[in-house]
């Protein structure tokens, strides 16, 4: 009897030890908030942008213009997710439409609540940018989509913002002719960029989306000092024949980062801002 109890105790201890050993490995695959364009800012950080979208007719002439001013504010964050509040005003054919505020919660891999199905480390590789080979950890992220799972292969570097240097996403099991694919790739690092009158370091990120009905190509400027990262973009939509049917630009209007507090309120998670971050609102020059 004593031998049986001892054996059970040893087995329980081995199971506990195995679980404890596995926990750090699982936690190590969580995306670090400090490497996310919203995650490394304190709550109440915000930015305001203006997006101008043009639709083109068959002759290539502008058929309509829509201007959207939006303000996005970080209203909550913890180790696993963050919540944004977005207010928007749309100018459509001289009509001003104010949209109700929308609050959205996201995980740091870009997922919606309950959408993340799994993350696994697959290999080590390198990405060459500006002639420089950058070592990366390759991870596979699986999300639940509306019509099947979305599988992303990401190349993650813990040294160079925006940290995810390449991301390849496709719908699992979809037929080739109906498959949507997205390729996000950093094409330049550490380029000078004027942001609200100050010269800062920026990265250029190209996104290519291939859809059954056409394609969309976007070039974004990412600055690690600005909440959300993106300070400008240029995008072009084409139909199945390759004709440009829509184009848009985005510009940063303003942003603010509140000073970090030394004594966080109970239950409110705040992160320190990495060294070199602007701690004041940028004044236009």
- The encoded tokens of residue 223 equal 């600055």
Q: Residue 218 belongs to what domain range?
A: 31-256
Does residue 11 fall inside a structural domain? no
**What is the separation of C-alpha 8 from the centre of its chain, rounded to a whole number of angstroms?**
47
Please name the residues in contact with 55: beta carbons below 8 A apart, sequence gap of 6 or more.
62, 63, 64, 65, 245, 246
Residue 15 lies in a domain: no
pLDDT tens for each residue of 167-205: 999 988 766 666 789 999 999 999 999 999 999 999 999
| Residue 274 domain flag | no
Is residue 275, in this structure, part of any structural domain at all? no
Which strand (E) or helix (H) includes residue 102? strand 95-107
Q: Work out whether strand 181-195 and strand 198-211 pair parallel, antiparallel, or are unpaired.
A: antiparallel
Is 191 within a domain? yes
Whole-structure pTM over 0.95, yes or no?
Answer: no
Give the chain's domain count.
1
User: What's the pLDDT band for 148 if we cut at 50, 70, 90?
Assistant: confident
pLDDT tens sequence across 108-137: 999 999 999 999 999 999 999 999 999 999
Residue 211 lies in a domain: yes
- Residue 171 in domain: yes
In a domain, 240, yes or no: yes
Contacts of 69 (CB under 8 A, 6+ apart): 48, 49, 50, 88, 89, 91, 253
């Amino acid at each position: 009897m004593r031998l049986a109890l001892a054996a059970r105790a040893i087995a329980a201890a081995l199971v506990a030890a195995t679980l404890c050993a596995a926990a750090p490995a699982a936690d190590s695959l969580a995306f670090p908030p400090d490497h996310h364009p919203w995650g490394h800012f304190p709550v109440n950080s915000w930015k305001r942008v203006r997006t101008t979208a043009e639709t083109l007719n068959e002759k290539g002439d502008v058929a309509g213009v829509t201007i959207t001013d939006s303000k996005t504010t970080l209203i909550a964050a913890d180790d696993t997710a963050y919540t944004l509040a977005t207010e928007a005003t749309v100018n459509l054919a001289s009509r001003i439409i104010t949209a109700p505020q929308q609050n959205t919660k996201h995980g740091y891999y870009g997922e919606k609540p309950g959408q993340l199905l799994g993350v696994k480390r697959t290999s080590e590789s390198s990405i060459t940018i500006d002639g420089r080979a950058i070592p990366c950890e390759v991870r596979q992220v699986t999300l639940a989509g509306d019509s099947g799972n979305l599988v992303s292969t990401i190349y993650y570097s813990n040294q160079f913002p925006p940290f995810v240097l390449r991301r390849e996403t496709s719908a699992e099991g979809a037929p080739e002719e109906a498959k949507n694919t997205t390729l996000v790739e950093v094409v330049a690092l550490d380029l000078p960029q004027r942001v609200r009158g100050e010269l800062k370091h920026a990265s250029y990120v190209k996104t290519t989306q291939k859809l059954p009905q056409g394609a969309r190509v976007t070039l974004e400027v990412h600055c690690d000092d600005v909440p959300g990262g993106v300070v400008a973009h240029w995008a072009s939509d084409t139909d199945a024949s390759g004709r440009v049917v829509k184009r848009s630009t985005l510009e940063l209007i303003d942003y603010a980062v509140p000073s970090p507090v030394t004594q966080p309120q109970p239950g409110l998670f705040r992160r320190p801002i990495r060294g070199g971050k602007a701690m004041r609102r940028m004044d236009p020059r």
